[in-house]
Structure 1
Amino acid sequence: MYKRALSKGIFALSFPLAAMAGAVQAAAPELSAEEMERATDIYFQRCAGCHGTLRNGATGPGLLPEDTQELGQRRLESIITLGTEGGMNNFDGILSEEEITLITKYIQNEPVEPPEMSLAQMKERWQVFVEPEDLPTEPQHDLNWENFMVTILRDRGAMGIIDADTKEMVTEVETGYAVHVAKESSDGRFWYVQGRDGRLSKIDLWMDPPQVTAETFIGYDARDVAVSHYGEWKDKYVIGGAYWPPHFVIADAETMEPLKVVSTRGYDTEGNYVHEARVAALYNTPHAPTFLVNVKETGQVLQVDYSDLDNLRIEQMETAEYLHDGFFDPTGRFFQIAANNSNMMVFIDTETRKKVSMLETGIKPHPGPGANWNDPECGPVAGTTHLGEGLMTFWGNDPEGHPDQAWQICDQIETDGPGLFVRTHPDSDNVWIDQAMHPEPDVNQWVMVMDKETRELTPIHVADRPIEHDAVAVHMEYDQTGTEVWVSIWARGEGHQDDGAIIVYDDKTLEEKARVENLNTPTGKFNVYNRKNHIG
């Protein structure tokens, strides 16, 4: 009935005309089978993350025919082309006019549900490229691999391994399409990356050059990954989370063999059944043999005990919809996650395995990897940007040392536009904030730097050379020394995907130090030393 195709790491679903015919409403624009396949591919690449595989909505609104047909072709094309200041990207320059017209017609048709995926199907696609016993016992190169920047090259379907000492590309490793995040083994040697196309890959940084040693596919649309770091299970398991089918998969972290699949379908906080209950984010807990599985549409945080896979123990914490990214406090005990459509940050005690508080922060919080620092008035705090407004909110997160400040807003700092990421370093005087979700380049190509002491903002024009196509400044990461900040220029304009760059700044002077240029759609970057030591 269904055929799944992978081309250059990009997900595509093609459906027989007979299946499509019954799904199209009378008022819906007609699409040929070829147009439907192309539109499905565009929707997956650009839209499904915010609007849902079945178009029921999540971070973004639902795109079902009863709503989209009422808006009409002209209005829909305008929204897609220009974006909105509430966090909707502008796709002018990212998609061609023909593609915008096509996707506008597509979302006026009924959505078609993709197939399920069994554990047996995952095992059929599991591959080991280098047997564990054949892996090197020491680094095969003389580079400072702990200062590598493991960098997402989003549309390229690869990870760029960049030497932060020399500012040179070591290699580009083929992985899944549109990797969202990368997570490290306990020693930082191995990196696990989850592609949007469901491809879960393991990279060995000791090899010359670094390469994928094993992989599997855990779904058709996926987002996050985590690795066990606790006790006798250290580096034993890796978990991948899927948007479709809605489930999580635990695999052998050495060989990548899929071992267990668990559905996340269930009920939201008001008791409504959710068929498309996607895994938003995954984390290992530092103080227990558990993974946190954050289910977007249900608002449930699952703490999954991996110490006995045959007798899986899962604690379920009811929070708020829709769960997204999160991060730990400096102690590693408290988990801080955004429920962005509820405008809330949620706080979980991973030792007691209970929700401890929720805090309204602003329109659609999105902290990315997050930021923790010490504020002169409030003590230890953490902060988030917001998808829906230009605002950085920070709150107290030290319930033992500063109980009066815990889970309460310390301050809110207005920026020029909505953003995705906030980042800092314990040795830095600054907090870096992007504004990537604003549709205009005179905002989204700038970042803000907040002085921790004075809370004053300094704007920096990251894309300070003329750019005649769509490109945004996004995602900040410190190098191993904590003195440099790396900011991506995500070039998204049609035909300009290879024009991306990373700009390296001196964190003290805020002056540019270097550029890594000619990168294909660079987004997130992960410094090996900082990530394995949980710095920032």
Structure 2
Amino acid sequence: MTKRALSKGIFAFSFPLAAMMAGGVQAAAPEMSAEELDRAGQIYFSRCAGCHGTLRKGATGPNLLPETTVDMGQRRLESIITFGTEGGMNNFDGILDEDEIELIAKYIQQTPEEPPEMSLADIRETWKIVVPQEEWPTEPQHDRNWENFMVTILRDRGAMGIIDGDTKELVTEAETGYAVHVAKESSDGRFWYVQGRDGRLSKIDLWMDPPQVTAEVFIGIDARDVAVSHYGEWKDKYVIGGAYWPPHFVIADAETMEPLKVVSTRGYDTEGNYVHEARVAALYNTPNAPSFLVNVKETGQVWQVDYSDIENLRIEQMETAEYLHDGFFDPSGRYFQIAANYSNKMVFVDTETRKRVGMLETGQIPHPGPGANWVDPECGPVAGTTHLGEGRMTFWGNDPENYPDQAWEICGSVETDGPGLFVRTHPESDNVWIDQAMHPEADVNQWVMVMNKETRELTPIHVADRPVEHDAVAVHMEYDQTGSEVWVSIWARGRGHQDDGAIVIFDDKTLEEKARVENLNTPTGKFNVYNRKNHVG
């Protein structure tokens, strides 16, 4: 496999990957040309694979294999893709045109085949130094308050927008991989590591003027998450990237991004069934130990990978529940809380004993995103999650030392108007912000809910105020460095309107809009440098 073939991710192979993935056509499946298969494969990768899998075997979403889809028929498939479902699948009528919807409905009736694997040698072929270390600045080259930068995903643009939180100016757009899912910081917050869906793992230096990528490597064909070592003598020594395909994780040198080790995550689920497409869902550094948490989605296993000796990796495999997705730590940094969304559960892991300590059913398809921790007047310290399958935010006790009777038990829940992706708060705030981005209707997904921590009362806030046909949703909340502002993205996904995205900034006390950053291309997640490096929220 050549460097050129890998350098642009899933679409850059010398043969049409999407056509190869479709494989042999079922007798009852609609006929498709090679060109149609390739085009449909690109759409599927961009819009569908994250929930339904590279091999279409299902995960958060159901399987899309021909034995199911052919019987459903072209017309019904087109209807589901067009209008979405209230169970968590968004509508695509404002995102894809009629021809594209017809094409995807045909494509998911074909038989999938596996894309190529990648060895460590293949991965090393893609490693690229953009700015040599000897050219890195020894102090910030600009006079901006870089600790209040918002490192912002511009999803379909394939870039990270660096926004000055003080002036509300877009400083620059750093070129990265497509559809970045999350960004993780170095221990001092200067460097940011971002993982594109196309496998491109990039390192950004915020001290440069303007901030830019210093190095990159492709760790897979389809990838999702990243983490950086922050513990003891290994602080900022290693970065880990996790792939959906091939199902593996890669440990690289955090300074240079040179890939050092690749480890397969294929194995067995909690019932002993072999899982070939065992994808890495989420990655985290453990604050109190020299280890990464590798959450293997389809197996329902949390792996605690000790990086103190990467030549002799020590890995504890904790069985939890399927399918693992997003998670976050409690304020102490000891307990990890992650959604097993197919099982409708939150899972709790003690990273000091390296054992699972609890599981809790919270609602239909929990999805906490970066999560939220706060103090409830009845239950003490709690944490919460939104849900992809229903309009609900559920919260539970998470302080087993001081509140043992409340630990890992539901404290309460509030009903929102629709399913959401993210929940966020701040220690100095009276509020918990909840989005409703997964509801198919604009009169719900363009609003967020704000829950008062003391009374648990909900206040609806209209964010997106874009025409319905633009298909713009309000998504992902982040506080600024002061904890007084809440930044909410308007993710404009509609055809021809991707540049109409914006970030709306609210006063957390009055809940009134105070500023906007406009003309952004598909903004989604945002990460405040100060808050993230200090684990605030």
Q: Do both share a fold (TM > 0.5)?
A: yes
Task: State the alpha-carbon separation in 1 of the partners of residues 21 and 352 from structure 2.
Answer: 49
Instruction: For 2:385, give the aligned amino acid.
Output: T
User: Which residue is equivalent to 1:263?
Assistant: 264
SS at match of 1:320: coil
Task: State the alpha-carbon separation in 2 of the partners of residues 17 and 481 from structure 1.
Answer: 47
Instruction: For 2:507, give the aligned amino acid.
Output: D
Does the alignment pair 1:343 with 2:364? no
Mapped contact 2:425–2:433 kept (Cα < 8 A): yes
Does the alignment pair 1:56 with 2:77? no
Q: Bigger CA drift: 26-35 or 154-163?
A: 26-35
Equivalences for residues 320-399 of structure 1 within 5 A? 320-399=321-400
Instruction: For 1:134, give the aligned amino acid.
Output: E
Unaligned stretches of 5+ residues in structure 1: none
SS at match of 2:470: coil
Instruction: Give deviations 1:199-240, integer Å, cap 9, x for gaps.
Output: 000000000000000000000000000000000000000000
- The 1:20–1:362 alpha-carbon spacing in structure 2 relative to 1, beyond 3 Å, is closer
**CA displacement at 1:317 relative to structure 2:** 0.1
Instruction: For 2:46, give the aligned amino acid.
Output: Q
Give TM-score, length-normalised by structure 1: 0.98
The alignment's C-alpha RMSD in Å is 1.7
User: Which residue is equivalent to 1:241?
Assistant: 242
Mapped contact 1:3–1:15 kept (Cα < 8 A): no
Mapped contact 2:94–2:469 kept (Cα < 8 A): no
User: Which residue is equivalent to 2:447?
Assistant: 446
**CA displacement at 1:11 relative to structure 2:** 3.8
Instruction: For 1:219, give the aligned amino acid.
Output: G
User: Which residue is equivalent to 1:521?
Assistant: 522
Does the alignment pair 1:178 with 2:179? yes
User: Which residue is equivalent to 2:422?
Assistant: 421
Instruction: Give deviations 1:119-162, integer Å, cap 9, x for gaps.
Output: 10111110111112221000000000000000000000000000
- The 1:278–1:432 alpha-carbon spacing in structure 2 relative to 1, beyond 3 Å, is same
**% of aligned pairs identical?**
86
Q: Bigger CA drift: 171-180 or 24-33?
A: 24-33
Mapped contact 2:23–2:110 kept (Cα < 8 A): no
Task: State the alpha-carbon separation in 1 of the partners of residues 492 and 253 from structure 2.
Answer: 36
User: Which residue is equivalent to 1:196?
Assistant: 197
Instruction: For 2:497, give the aligned amino acid.
Output: H
Instruction: Give deviations 1:332-354, integer Å, cap 9, x for gaps.
Output: 00000000000000000000000
Give TM-score, length-normalised by structure 2: 0.98
Instruction: Give deviations 1:448-497, integer Å, cap 9, x for gaps.
Output: 00000000000001012545311100000000000000000000001110
Task: State the alpha-carbon separation in 1 of the partners of residues 12 and 261 from structure 2.
Answer: 25
Mapped contact 1:12–1:37 kept (Cα < 8 A): no
**CA displacement at 1:25 relative to structure 2:** 0.9
Mapped contact 2:434–2:449 kept (Cα < 8 A): yes
User: Which residue is equivalent to 2:275?
Assistant: 274
- The 1:407–1:19 alpha-carbon spacing in structure 2 relative to 1, beyond 3 Å, is closer
User: Which residue is equivalent to 2:531?
Assistant: 530
User: Which residue is equivalent to 2:163?
Assistant: 162
How many residue pairs get matched? Answer: 536
SS at match of 1:468: helix
Task: State the alpha-carbon separation in 2 of the partners of residues 380 and 17 from structure 1.
Answer: 48
- The 1:10–1:272 alpha-carbon spacing in structure 2 relative to 1, beyond 3 Å, is closer
**CA displacement at 1:358 relative to structure 2:** 0.3
SS at match of 2:124: helix
**CA displacement at 1:99 relative to structure 2:** 0.4
Task: State the alpha-carbon separation in 1 of the partners of residues 242 and 23 from structure 2.
Answer: 32
Task: State the alpha-carbon separation in 1 of the partners of residues 18 and 340 from structure 2.
Answer: 39
Task: State the alpha-carbon separation in 1 of the partners of residues 332 and 7 from structure 2.
Answer: 43
Instruction: For 1:340, give the aligned amino acid.
Output: N
User: Which residue is equivalent to 1:504?
Assistant: 505
- The 1:63–1:22 alpha-carbon spacing in structure 2 relative to 1, beyond 3 Å, is closer
Instruction: For 1:438, give the aligned amino acid.
Output: H
Q: Bigger CA drift: 45-54 or 7-16?
A: 7-16
Task: State the alpha-carbon separation in 1 of the partners of residues 20 and 467 from structure 2.
Answer: 48
